[in-house]
Amino acid sequence: MIEVCAVDDVPLGEGRAATVAQRRIAIFHADSGWYALEDGCPHLGGPLSDGILADHCVVCPLHDRRFDLASGEALTDGEGVTAHRVEVRGDRVCVELAPARALASAA
Amino acid sequence: MSSEGIAIVGGGIAGQSLCEAVIGRDPDARVTLVCAEEHLPYDRVRLSEILVSGEGPEGLQLRPEEWYADNRVEILSGRWVEALDAQRAELTLDGGERRSFASVALCTGSRPLMPPIPGLDLPGVVPFRGPEDCEMIRRAAGEGARVAVIGGGLLGLEAAYGVASRGCAVTVVHLMDRLMERQLDAGAAAMLQPAIEALGVEVLLERQTECVLGDERATGLRFAGGEELEADLIVVSIGITPEKALAQSAGLEVKRGIVVDDRLKTSADRVLAVGECAEHRGTVYGLVAPIYDQARVAAVTLTDAESDETYNGSLQWAKLKVMGVDLVSIGSAEGPQEAVTANAEGPLYRKLVLADGRAAGAVLLGDVRGTEALLDAIRCDDEVADPLERLAAAAAATAADLPDGAQICDCNGVCKGDLVAAVREQGAGSAREVMALTRAGTGCGSCKPMVKEVVAEATGGAAEEPAFLCPCKRQTREELARRIGEEGHTAVSDVTAACGTGRECGLCKPALAYLVSEVNDNRHREERSARYINDRVHANIQNDGTFSVVPRMYGGVTTPDQLRRIADAAERYEARMVKVTGGQRIDLLGVAKEDLPAIWRDIGMPSGHAYAKAIRTVKTCVGTDFCRFGIGDSIDLGVRMEREWEGLHTPAKVKSGVSGCPRNCAEATVKDIGAVAVEGGWQLRIAGAAGGTVREADVLATLETADELLRLATVFLQYYREHADHKERMYDFVPRIGLEEIRAVVTDERRSAELLERFRIAKAAAAAKDPWLERDEPYHPRQFEDLDGAGGRAMGELVGPPEDADEGAVPALVGPPEDGER
Q: Cβ of A16 and B530 within 8 Å?
A: no
Q: To probe the interface with A, which of B529, B596, B727, B803 has the most A CB atoms within 10 Å?
A: B529
The alpha carbons of chain B give a radius of gyration, in whole angstroms, of: 31
The mean per-residue pLDDT over the stretch B12-35 comes to: 91
- Name the closest residue on chain A to residue B792, using Cα atoms: A5
Higher-confidence position of B637 and A1:
B637
The closest CB to that of B504, out of A3, A44, A55, belongs to A55
With b for 16 or more beta-carbon neighbours within 10 A and e for fewer, the B336-361 pattern comes to eebbbebeeeebebbbbbbeeeebbb
Q: Cβ of A3 and B504 within 8 Å?
A: no
Predicted pLDDT at B442: 67
pLDDT digits (tens, 9 = 90+) for A22-59: 899 999 999 889 999 999 999 889 999 999 998 789 99
CA B365 from chain center: how many Å? 25
- Pick the closest to residue B709 from B683, B744, B687 (CA basis): B683
Higher-confidence position of B14 and B802:
B14
Question: Does the beta carbon of A7 lie under 8 angstroms from any beta carbon of chain B?
Answer: no
Predicted pLDDT at B793: 38
Decide: B222 and B228 in contact? Cβ < 8 Å: yes
Say what the ipTM of the complex is: 0.92
On average, the pLDDT of chain B sits at 86
Question: Cα(B685)–Cα(B676) distance, rounded to whole angstroms?
Answer: 8
pLDDT at residue B373 is higher than 70? yes
Q: To probe the interface with A, which of B58, B526, B786 has the most A CB atoms within 10 Å?
A: B786
Higher-confidence position of A103 and B487:
B487
Q: Is B188 exposed, middle or buried (0-12, 13-18, 19+ CB in 10 A)?
A: buried
Predicted pLDDT at B461: 57
Contacts of residue B798 in chain A, CB cutoff 8 Å? 1-2
Q: Cβ of A14 and B66 within 8 Å?
A: no
Q: Cβ of A61 and B541 within 8 Å?
A: yes
Q: To probe the interface with A, which of B534, B806, B814, B821 has the most A CB atoms within 10 Å?
A: B814
Question: Does the beta carbon of A52 lie under 8 angstroms from any beta carbon of chain B?
Answer: yes
Predicted pLDDT at B820: 34
Q: Cβ of B780 and A75 within 8 Å?
A: no
Predicted pLDDT at B471: 56
Would strands B673-678 and B654-659 be described as parallel, antiparallel, or unpaired? Answer: parallel
State the smallest CA–CA distance between residue A102 and chain B in angstroms.
15
On average, the pLDDT of chain A sits at 88
State the smallest CA–CA distance between residue A7 and chain B in angstroms.
10
- Name the closest residue on chain B to residue A94, using Cα atoms: B799
Decide: B673 and B685 in contact? Cβ < 8 Å: yes
pLDDT digits (tens, 9 = 90+) for B44-99: 766 777 776 666 667 677 777 888 888 889 999 889 899 999 999 999 999 899 99
Kind and range of the H or E element at B173?
strand B169-173
pLDDT at residue B451 is higher than 90? no
Predicted pLDDT at B472: 58
Which of B346-350, B353-357, B703-707 shows the lowest per-residue confidence on average (mean pLDDT)? B346-350
Q: Residue B260 — very low, low, confident or very high, per pLDDT cuts 50/70/90?
A: very high
The mean per-residue pLDDT over the stretch A78-106 comes to: 82
Predicted pLDDT at B473: 61
Query: At CA B79, angle to CA B73 and CA B81, rounded to 5?
Result: 100
Q: Residue B445 — very low, low, confident or very high, per pLDDT cuts 50/70/90?
A: low
The mean per-residue pLDDT over the stretch B143-166 comes to: 88
pLDDT digits (tens, 9 = 90+) for B29-40: 999 999 988 877
Q: Residue B790 — very low, low, confident or very high, per pLDDT cuts 50/70/90?
A: very low
Question: Cα(A87)–Cα(B273) distance, rounded to whole angstroms?
Answer: 54
Question: Cα(A48)–Cα(A28) distance, rounded to whole angstroms?
Answer: 9
The mean per-residue pLDDT over the stretch B306-319 comes to: 87
Show the domains of chain B with their CATH numbers.
6-110+242-303 (3.50.50.60), 125-238 (3.50.50.60), 324-397 (3.30.390.30), 408-466 (1.10.10.1100), 469-531 (1.10.10), 614-769 (3.30.413.10)
pLDDT at residue B653 is higher than 80? yes
Contacts of residue B509 in chain A, CB cutoff 8 Å? 52, 54
The closest CB to that of A9, out of B503, B791, B810, belongs to B791
pLDDT at residue B792 is higher than 50? no
Question: Cα(A26)–Cα(B471) distance, rounded to whole angstroms?
Answer: 28
Contacts of residue B60 in chain A, CB cutoff 8 Å? none
Q: Cβ of A3 and B796 within 8 Å?
A: yes
Predicted pLDDT at B437: 77
Contacts of residue A32 in chain B, CB cutoff 8 Å? 815-816
Predicted pLDDT at B504: 57
The closest CB to that of B794, out of A3, A61, A76, belongs to A3
State the smallest CA–CA distance between residue B802 and chain A in angstroms.
7
Share of chain B above pLDDT 70, in %: 90
Query: At CA B743, angle to CA B741 and CA B745, rounded to 5?
Result: 70
Q: Residue B816 — very low, low, confident or very high, per pLDDT cuts 50/70/90?
A: very low
pLDDT at residue B238 is higher than 70? yes
Predicted pLDDT at B414: 85
pLDDT digits (tens, 9 = 90+) for B86-144: 999 999 999 899 999 999 999 999 888 888 889 999 999 998 877 778 888 888 877 78
Question: Cα(B731)–Cα(B727) distance, rounded to whole angstroms?
Answer: 11
Show the domains of chain A with their CATH numbers.
2-96 (2.102.10.10)
Tell me how long chain B is: 822
Q: Residue B507 — very low, low, confident or very high, per pLDDT cuts 50/70/90?
A: confident
Question: Cα(B508)–Cα(B520) distance, rounded to whole angstroms?
Answer: 18
